[in-house]
A and B are shown apart, each in its own frame.
Chain A
Amino acid sequence: MGFLGYDSERLLWLSTAMRRTADKLAAIHNDDPAISASMVRVRSAERVLSATWLPVIGRMLSCDVLGTEYAPVHLDGTDVRTAALFMLQGYGWQVATDPLGQVGDGTIRVTGAEARAIGALLSRSDISELIDTPEELAWLRQRLLVIGADPKLAADLAANLDTTWVLAVLADEHLDAAATGDWTRATQLAEVIAACATAVREHETAWVDELIELDPYAAALALRGLDLHGEELAAACDRILARWRNPPDGGGWPDADVGPTYTADLLLPLLIADPDAATAFLQRAAAHPDIVFQTTNDGVLVRELLLVGTDPAHVSATAAGEIMVPTLEWLRNNVAWFHDDMIGGEFDARELLGELAAPWLLYFGPRVEDWGWSISEGKEILQFVVDDGRALDDLLAAMEQWRIELLVRPLVDADGRIDAGWATDMAGLFILFDEVITKEVTDDARAARIWVDLLASAVTTVGTSFGDGAIGLTVSATVPFVVSQVQDLLTDAGILPPDADLVAEMARAETAQRKATTAIFAIVALAAQLVDSGDLPEDALDGLDLGGDGGGCDARAVRDRLQAFIDGLRDRCSATVYNAFVALLSTFLSPDAINDVC
């Protein structure tokens, strides 16, 4: 049983007009067979009026309510679904039960009066009482969606809605529901808030400015209904989170006290879903990176935001630098002050940095000046990154991608000239990473084990890439032996770190091995590319033999063997190709580098 409302005087006018029309219809007589079908419709219309609607209206107007289905009632205004009738009741309308529908019948057309009534009732009543059932919330959301789709209805709603206050109270309701674990209600409230914001967005002046004045949590919930994108979304998120971090009166915000979800938990998913917005937001946040790292305890969200916002697939190196440089410098200075008693303390921001830095490693070394760092600054920042075990793991994994890049990207152009810039970049990248790892490895034996595992994998990759041992690679037993010893020590010692001197010795050995391995990669990659392009005969790689005694230093032995291989090609290729090989070997494994490690 639903409710209906009526203005007695106007209903009387309707009744009179209906009676007059029915009488006129009854007075029309014509038995001409040519219009018999038309006359059937005339009679039907007359019956609709006189037999159906006039009796209904008559019962209401005669106040003969006893025993009828249209019994008078008085609404108390505690159900948002009767907002329109409640307001009309206040204007002197009669309200009665209605047998034709249920309270909150969603099929009933939304009127301007109802839109205005919803706005007024939400703005002046106890909202928690108005929407204390799932049915009321569902009805309100559905009504708001209809209103939002009609500019005139939206204007009616906005005219009576105290938007800021209503959204803030609804947000409090949402927090209460979330805090008590009532996620069904929390979800419904979030949907209502979004629908409300959507409905009034065209009728609020300077809407984003209005949002900023809200409780940030309410602002975040409302923002989800505004369908903002790109720079506009980024700017709004930046302002809301900045305000969240700096409450105007120095106090806290409700969500900061209640949790378990925070303002940032609502906003970051919007940014993650919009890569341009994510990048724009991170660029803005570079001025105050705390809004990224200290507004949520959800490290997964922060990780996704950082990865999406700095994804090389859609972010230029310049834009990435505008984000990475200030963000990493801020983290280096502040991460030690993160505690688990503060938001952002439940995840280790450093663990995210390996994945973040991996695609941009060139800008920590060979291209460091593009990001405004000095060479030493770039190295120090990368050192800070690899100082975290998880970040180091991620970077080591990323090096595999760089090795693949080295293998597949052409090192020479169509004329056989080496791409000196790229070769230098790659050599510099590996040298930088080697230096950083070497330093780190002396402090972290676990990393040494990882590196050796990776090294073995890399050598295997080269061997299998060219098949059947054609290159004749032999891996020195030195490193595996040393590492084996260290691993034994680690096993014996449990989680205790191994002897520092031993690890340092191992690291030096690995340095030589890594330089040699990288040089092998570069030379083999170039040779393979030249074979493919026809600039070298197919059997050219057969002449590469890396076996034998290196005189106590693998790197020196490898360089000598590579030089011999290149010399062997001198008469089988053009002078340009030969010079490319010489330049590449010099880039990756120069005599000075040999002297450093051997």
Chain B
Amino acid sequence: MSVIKEYWHKLSSAKHFYPIAGALLPWFIIPALLMLAWGSWQGLVVAPADYQQGDSYRIIFVHVPAAWLSMMAYMVMAINGAIYLVWKIKLADIVAESAAPIGASFTFLALATGSLWGKPMWGTWWVWDARLTSELVLLFLYLGTIALRGAIDDRQRAGRAAGLLGLIGAINVPIIHFSVEWWETLHQPATVSKFSAPSMHPSMLIPLLVMALGFTLFFFAVLMIKIRAGILEQERHSRWLSALYAEAPETTATYSAEGNLAAMDESNE
């Protein structure tokens, strides 16, 4: 028990998570890129055209994963915000802060691709449909937490305030999910979740799932990079960090802004 506790404690400290995040990064980024490449090729070239929508449907290979990720990133942000609020683990705050802009980007991507698809399909860039509207609300929720964080100078207070706001906004995420059933709308009901009788042919479904997994891994890869940057910023005066870079400056210099600055100074001389 105490071993698990100690391990957990280590994992939640910035000092120990910094190298872990660095080690995990290639495990996320390489499969992510491979999957995105294979999924895009399968989805955009190999999969057959839809008998109703022609080639336009192919945007779902980007649209649907982006929409999923927009919600998952929000959950990551909200849960980490809540952890910071309750247990005051600094790392959770860094994770929450890092997840917000990535999630906002995915939300924007989902909205933009959906609108690009809507123009030829529905004949309009935008309709006031429940899921579209909820996704737009989600974007505003992201922007709200980012803005609130930016408006409070004290780092600790900003983190707790954004955490509470994210928690309140999290109530909105299930509403997005169930809004399809709640309101009668134009939007297609979810095509993928019906596993008992999938309405998608495997030649389309498999690339979509691969793309979704690739997007997820890509999200975690970017999250790791941002977490490392966040740790560097927060712990920039700490002793372990300077010790870490004093030990092996040539291997790690490329990862840190400070390392780059040092390298630049050297080259100037």
A, B in one complex: no
Name B's A-contacting residues (CB within 8 A): none
Name A's B-contacting residues (CB within 8 A): none
